[in-house]
Amino acid sequence: MSSAGRVVKNTAYLMSAFVGQKLLSFLYFTVVARTVGVEGTGRYFLAVSFTTMFSILTDIGLSNVLVREVAKVPERANKLLANVLGLKAILAGVSLLAVHSVSRMLGYSEQTLLMITIASLVMVLDSVHLIMYAVMRGFQNLRYEAVGVVSGQVITIGS
């Protein structure tokens, strides 16, 4: 397939996936807000927002570097992936420690701390899947990322 054809196909995959994900996300947040009420929704968004501030520590740009390096030398993808995953494990530990320490210092309630803990674990898992997507982007195959984006949102709604 030509380079232009691959770009069009990959763009269509991702655009469709992101539109589907946004629609499912809207449905999910509507249900969450109606189910847990005002206070529960506030705690939920506090937990998500709080952990999002620390998500930069789990990636520090590694995903973008991995895309570039895999695209340049696809034969090194396994070695690059192993190196990045090892570094991510260390960064995830640092991030989790930072989230836990700062949230304790701020004196949040136990229920809020539990929600922050769960959100921080999801943050780490999200960081790992971004690395997998980076490898696929390096190989210029976004079909699986598109499926993963929609599947992830369906799993979120199901849980």
Tokens of 62: 């590694």
Residues of the chain scoring pLDDT < 50: none
Q: Please classify residue 37 by burial: count the beta carbons closer than 10 Å to its beta carbon, then call 0-12 exposed, 13-18 middle and 19+ buried.
A: exposed
Give the per-residue pLDDT at 1. Answer: 64
Q: What's the first-to-final CA gap in the chain, in angstroms?
A: 39
Q: Cα separation of 94 and 102, whole Å? A: 12
103, 116 in Cβ contact below 8 A? yes
The domain spans of the chain are 3-158
Q: What pLDDT, on the 0 to 100 scale, is given for residue 159? A: 58
What gap in Å lies between CA 99 and CA 53, rounded to an integer? 9
pLDDT on residue 158 = 64
